């Protein structure tokens, strides 16, 4: 009998791809979903990719990272956990706890219940938000690797996702050390790539907003792109390589400015009118003071953060999917599924 791996947040963009990759490698998978209503969609989506035989090794259970209910049962018989579930928004909520609480409390809950059931091996989805911020960079180009840890106290502009992810990861390392757990953290940049259904990443909206012209203008800054298929591959590789225990891995393929993403899409779809206008940095800085989506990128305005993903690429065992290919595959899925990006 193949090992049973628990994937939290199995209905999400990264979660579904992790489920697919695990099933393709012969594992049995138990995925957590927040509501039973998600089950049919996840089964249908995953089944289309892996086939009925592999999909028969998928079990879905109801468990919310903000409640204890269901977690003891979810962890029973499990060999290892991929903790992927988190709360992501496209704006900066006035109530930051909407994002911070699921990150911190949810991670603590998953580790606690795993430990109680005797599960030692956990791979945690973290973020570059826990790496490259609060280091005094306001201009120029700087390269970050896994040795950097975001310093929340030194940041002028905090945002909820960064706070939640950073505090959750620090607490996870402390808990793992205190309880003899074997933790690995994966730190993706902006995750794009082919959506499998309409439950996709907010980062996919970077592409959909350009395709449907709902993005009126572009900030000048860039971001580190990573394809969701590589993120999932890295999670599985971390699970399968004992040398990954106790380590952090950046999942970052290529830095690309927003205007360059628009240029690539225009080249790929010459029949479309892709916006090329940019918003001056000073306007972004003013708008960010009031929160909203600008708060998510304000720390990257006027500087370039390069995240060195070579260690993660080596762990994965194959080259990263290029940014251009990932943008293309994202766009094709957006068009095929008729996806619209909505900030909530």
Residues 6+ apart with CB under 8 A from 53: none
Cα–Cα distance for residue pair 124/314, rounded to 1 Å: 18
For the record, the structure tokens of 154 come out as: 């030194």
Cβ distance 302 to 138 under 8 Å? yes
Cβ distance 181 to 111 under 8 Å? yes
Cα–Cα distance for residue pair 258/240, rounded to 1 Å: 35
Known catalytic residues are: 165
Cα–Cα distance for residue pair 276/258, rounded to 1 Å: 9
Cα–Cα distance for residue pair 58/172, rounded to 1 Å: 27
For the record, the structure tokens of 137 come out as: 């960079």
DSSP letter (8 states) at residue 256: E
Which residue in 170, 167, 179, 317 sits closest to 238, CA to CA? Answer: 317
Cβ distance 52 to 43 under 8 Å? no
For the record, the structure tokens of 344 come out as: 């909530």
Which stretch of DSSP H or E encloses residue 227? Answer: strand 222-227
Cα–Cα distance for residue pair 216/279, rounded to 1 Å: 9
Residues 6+ apart with CB under 8 A from 46: 16, 19, 20, 23, 55, 58, 196
């Amino acid at each position: 009998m193949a090992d049973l791996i628990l994937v939290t947040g199995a209905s999400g963009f990264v979660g579904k791809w992790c489920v697919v990759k695990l099933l393709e490698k012969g594992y049995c998978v138990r995925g957590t979903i927040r509501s039973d209503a998600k089950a049919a969609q996840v089964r249908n989506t995953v089944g289309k990719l892996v086939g009925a035989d592999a999909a028969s090794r998928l079990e879905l259970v109801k468990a919310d990272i903000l409640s204890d209910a269901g977690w003891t049962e979810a962890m029973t018989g499990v060999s290892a956990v991929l903790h992927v579930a988190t709360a992501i928004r496209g704006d900066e909520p006035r109530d930051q706890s909407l994002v911070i609480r699921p990150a911190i409390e949810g991670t603590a809950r998953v580790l606690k219940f795993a430990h109680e059931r005797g599960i030692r091996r956990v791979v945690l989805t973290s973020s570059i938000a826990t790496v490259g911020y609060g280091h005094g960079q306001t201009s120029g180009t700087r390269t970050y690797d896994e040795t950097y840890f975001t310093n929340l106290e030194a940041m002028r502009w905090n945002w909820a996702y960064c706070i939640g992810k950073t505090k959750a990861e620090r607490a996870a390392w402390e808990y793992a050390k205190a309880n003899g757990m074997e933790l690995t953290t994966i730190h993706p940049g902006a995750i794009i790539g082919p959506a499998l259904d309409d439950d996709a990443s907010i980062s996919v909206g970077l592409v959909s907003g350009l395709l449907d012209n709902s993005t009126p203008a572009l900030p000048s800054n860039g971001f580190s792109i990573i394809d969701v298929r590589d993120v999932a591959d890295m999670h599985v590789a971390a699970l399968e390589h004992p040398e990954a225990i106790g380590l952090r891995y950046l999942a970052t393929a290529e830095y690309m400015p927003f205007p360059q993403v628009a240029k690539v899409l225009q080249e790929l779809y010459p029949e479309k009118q892709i916006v090329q206008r940019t918003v001056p940095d000073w306007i972004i800085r003013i708008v960010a003071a009031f929160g909203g989506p600008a708060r998510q990128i304000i720390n990257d305005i006027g500087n370039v953060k390069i995240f060195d993903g070579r260690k993660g690429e080596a762990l994965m065992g194959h080259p990263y999917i290029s940014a251009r290919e990932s943008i293309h595959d994202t766009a094709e899925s957006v068009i095929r599924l008729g996806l619209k990006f909505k900030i909530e």
